[in-house]
Structure 1
Amino acid sequence: MKRIVVFGRGKVAPTKESKPQDYKSLFMHEAETTARSGKTAYISKEHHERIIKIVQVIGKNEVSLFSYIHNVLEHHFATYKGDITDLYEKNIGQIF
């Protein structure tokens, strides 16, 4: 498995109410935070190779691996915030 660095907060991705953006403008820009302020996470070799190709070709090597992954995760969390919150709250059991 390959190691990647991911961090918590940063630029918020557009919500469903926002003007739709194309893939390149959503994900192919540098994050406002640096990778060194993040944490380490592991991904499969296959995903790492695929992400590297996406960044190299679509991002024309102008976007870091860290920024691409950060942007994808920010978009995911913005898109599924409600679902994640609901599921999280349903899984917090009451002790009594």
Structure 2
Amino acid sequence: MEKNNRKQMAKRSYGSQFLKKQTIERRSDKAIYVREEYHERLSRILNIIGNGNIPLYAYLDNILKHHFELFGEDIIKDYDKMNKPLF
């Protein structure tokens, strides 16, 4: 991703980037394990900043989306280096 896009993402408020509801259905989600200290921290953020209106799965989905937007090109480059074609 270009530096300008990264700067634009950084300019958005935290709430507008991460504290928004998602359209994914809870039943289709997979279980994940999070460190207890992170779970407590995430829950406090959601309760205070998110006013208790955003479920944890939606918050994590937004964080992961942002991560892949920022580092997607780097991930693909590293993946391609490690995953050599058979032919």
TM-score for the superposition, normalised by structure 2: 0.83
Q: What residue is the counterpart of 2:81 in the other structure?
A: 90
Alpha-carbon RMSD across the aligned residues, in angstroms, is 1.8
Q: Which stretch shifts more, 81-90 or 16-25?
A: 16-25
CA apart distance, 1:41:
1.1
Query: What number of residue pairs does the alignment pair up?
Result: 82
Task: Say whether residues 1:76 and 2:67 are aligned partners.
Answer: yes
State which of 41, 51, 54 in structure 2 corresponds to 1:50: 41
Q: What residue is the counterpart of 2:19 in the other structure?
A: 28
Which has the larger helix fraction? 2
Which has the larger strand fraction? 1
Deviations, residues 32-82 of structure 1 (Å, cap 9, x unaligned): 112211111111111111100110011010111111011000010111110
Amino acid at match of 2:16: S
Q: What residue is the counterpart of 2:6 in the other structure?
A: 16
Q: Percent identity?
A: 32
Mapped to 2, the partners of 1:71 and 1:34 lie a distance apart of 14
Q: Which runs of 5+ in 1 are unaligned?
A: 1-14
Amino acid at match of 1:69: L
Mapped to 1, the partners of 2:67 and 2:31 lie a distance apart of 19
Mapped to 2, the partners of 1:90 and 1:38 lie a distance apart of 30
